[in-house]
Structure 1
């Protein structure tokens, strides 16, 4: 992923604790706007979606020490660019929220367990893109902060996902 000289790179780099090493095998096409998390239970990096020069990807890829593998999946979130995402280590699931659907935005919550994409919720935070998400292991919650509700409206709210539903957290 990433852009260099206006082009999307298809590079994959690994950090061994001391230096960066380029992986030379085949993988997904270069893209931006994708979701990517590390699945610590299965020891794989999961990549979903993205875009490049008008092409919208709705594919799921996994990467481990041997390389990239495209996962053939029926169904799933569809086009999602700049979605919020985090890995829920208790449930062993990548959680994806919102994102640009082109032409609009989504307020859906989806989960990837390594086999299937499952729609987990259609209600919760307002539809948005670029929300920041992280898993709070101590409290067993995924926390979502902010995001873009539509130009020029940015969200300044905090929500938590408990594995079943979203709850807005009022911050003082």
Structure 2
């Protein structure tokens, strides 16, 4: 780690040369690249970047895809909140909404010096530090989601500076306590997995990075064990993708991330099948972007993310078949690794933390219609 903050390269190390078998050549010294990935949809030749980011001994390519940007007709705005109390600044935290407690729950992350294992709850007005017993190990780039079947929040994965983690923890909103579970089966220990609540109410986990490989498997939490799903198709293996679930349709939308092959694609999951979509417009490629459903826009919203070492501050929405950029009257500072959740009691999307140019953030924002 450098600069006192967390890079994606600190979470994803020991990766071999990216896309050697897919027509991508990485050359250090100005990070000049020649890219031929999926020529039917992408051709960028001799694209030079002023700055890249390093993963182990290689580089990850910022796929700068030119597109005609369609602008949403609505004019929502991001508004910074001023809670009476807030968690310390951090990035790559885990955050989700817990219907049992009626609050947003946030855990862990990296504050620029240390991996964290504190738990906080946000009620729309203030953040409260929950002094729970038996905390999970400190970590960053874990993920968590609410399991509607068992009515518990599920936490999985992450990285603590030394190890990739594969332990499973449940948060009980009734008692505000963590419970360590030891399932008979479990996904591979990874950092940057994608966790979400599927249309059946279960928590599913897909992908992540295990220190050598991006994972290409999907598991479902049964309440006592992880069950690997045998699906007809899966998104390309990746980690740190943005995933949000449309509460109206129950469908999960996945975009971007870090991968060994082209991650500039959109996938939709209906509970049984992943389907790749080919929208006319799409966001710039990002990793560690934040996604959540917004009932006001009736769409999954994507905000921020890193792209070749440059953090983004744009807002997009996915509506059935296309991405549309949402021009807000103001926006949070650019960031990656933030937490973003829709709070149905507040009726707004909430964003907390992340990092801008490797500086951890501790601000709270809401997206107003």
**Structure-2 separation of matches of 1:55 and 1:80:** 9
For 1:1-16, list aligned pairs within 5 A. Answer: 1-4=157-160, 6-16=162-172
Contact 2:206 2:217 in 1 (8 A): yes
For 1:141-156, list aligned pairs within 5 A. Answer: 141-151=299-309, 153-156=310-313
Of 29, 33, 40, which residue of structure 1 is paired with 2:188?
Answer: 29
**Structure-2 separation of matches of 1:5 and 1:126:** 29
Aligned to 1:45: 203
Of 270, 276, 289, which residue of structure 2 is paired with 1:113?
Answer: 270
**Structure-2 separation of matches of 1:50 and 1:9:** 11
Bigger radius of gyration among the two: 2
User: Structure 1 or 2: larger strand share?
Assistant: 1
Contact 2:256 2:285 in 1 (8 A): yes
Contact 1:83 1:130 in 2 (8 A): yes
Contact 1:31 1:50 in 2 (8 A): yes
> Unmatched 5+ residue regions in structure 2?
1-156, 330-369
Paired residues, number: 169
Contact 1:38 1:87 in 2 (8 A): yes
Please state how far the C-alpha of 1:5 moved relative to its aligned partner.
6.0
| TM-score, with length taken from structure 2 | 0.44
User: Bigger relative contact order, structure 1 or 2, given CA contacts below 8 A and separation 6+?
Assistant: 2
Please state how far the C-alpha of 1:9 moved relative to its aligned partner.
2.1
Contact 1:43 1:64 in 2 (8 A): no
In the alignment, structure 1 residue 73 sits paired with structure 2 residue 254: no
CA RMSD, Structure 1 to Structure 2 (Å): 1.7
**Structure-2 separation of matches of 1:110 and 1:5:** 31
For 1:123-162, list aligned pairs within 5 A. Answer: 123-151=281-309, 153-162=310-319
**Structure-1 separation of matches of 2:287 and 2:169:** 27
* Per-residue CA distance 1:77-122 (angstroms, 9 max, x = gap): 112221111111211111101111236x522110112211101235
Contact 2:158 2:192 in 1 (8 A): no
DSSP-derived class of the 1:51 partner: coil
Contact 2:196 2:204 in 1 (8 A): yes
| TM-score, with length taken from structure 1 | 0.89
In the alignment, structure 1 residue 94 sits paired with structure 2 residue 264: no
* Per-residue CA distance 1:108-150 (angstroms, 9 max, x = gap): 1101122111012354111111111110123311111111111
DSSP-derived class of the 2:240 partner: coil
Contact 1:10 1:28 in 2 (8 A): yes
**Structure-2 separation of matches of 1:36 and 1:62:** 10
**Structure-1 separation of matches of 2:299 and 2:161:** 39
Of 58, 62, 82, which residue of structure 1 is paired with 2:240?
Answer: 82
